[in-house]
Amino acid sequence: MDSIVAFSAAMALETEGRRLDRARLREGTLSILAAPERGFFMVAELPEAGRHRLVGQLMITFEWSDWRNAVFWWVQSVYVAPAWRRQGVYRTMHDHIVAKAKADPQVCGIRLYVERDNLTAQTVYQCVGLAPSVYAVYEQDFVLVRHLSPSQNK
């Protein structure tokens, strides 16, 4: 649990420059772990000195599609520890999620969003078979307010 919270905080800082409130993040993580209807985490662990060391994670949440009468799985909170990147950790987790989703007749596909400037992640996602969507994501976030740069404020 603590490792998942730490990885989620590291991901937010690395990809978006956000320092998340750890108490809120911990409660949010506990909430999804306690309510499987909200989603689930997948972790990649390695045995180390009789314990398991977290090296990667992702979270799946659900979006109902009336057009398809099925659920999209949204891949979120993707993080692989820097020492384990480019070693197949994400691909292994992704392949497992795809196989699990395809085996479930109530799942119609997988989606994720990525920061526009995160070209490294975009390349990884394309290499595992994901393609850019025709949709753009818009939001109105009531908790994590994004401060616009001067050029965006015009």
Q: Produce one character per residue of 98-111: b if its CB has 16 or more CB atoms within 10 Å, e if not.
A: beebeeeeebbebb
Instruction: State mean pLDDT over 1-18.
Output: 93
Confidence of residue 114 (pLDDT cuts 50, 70, 90): very high
Tens-place pLDDT, residues 76-88: 999 999 999 999 9
Q: Pick the range with the lowest mean pLDDT from 33-42, 70-79, 139-148.
A: 139-148
Residue 150 has pLDDT above 50, yes or no: no
pLDDT > 70 fraction of the chain, expressed in percent and rounded: 94
pLDDT > 90 fraction of the chain, expressed in percent and rounded: 81
pTM: 0.88
According to the model, what pLDDT value does residue 145 have? 77
Instruction: State mean pLDDT over 81-104.
Output: 97
Q: Which residue has the higher pLDDT, 151 or 115?
A: 115
Sketch out the chain's domains with CATH numbers: 2-127 (3.40.630.30)
Q: Which two tokens stand for residue 65?
A: 């599609």
According to the model, what pLDDT value does residue 147 have? 54
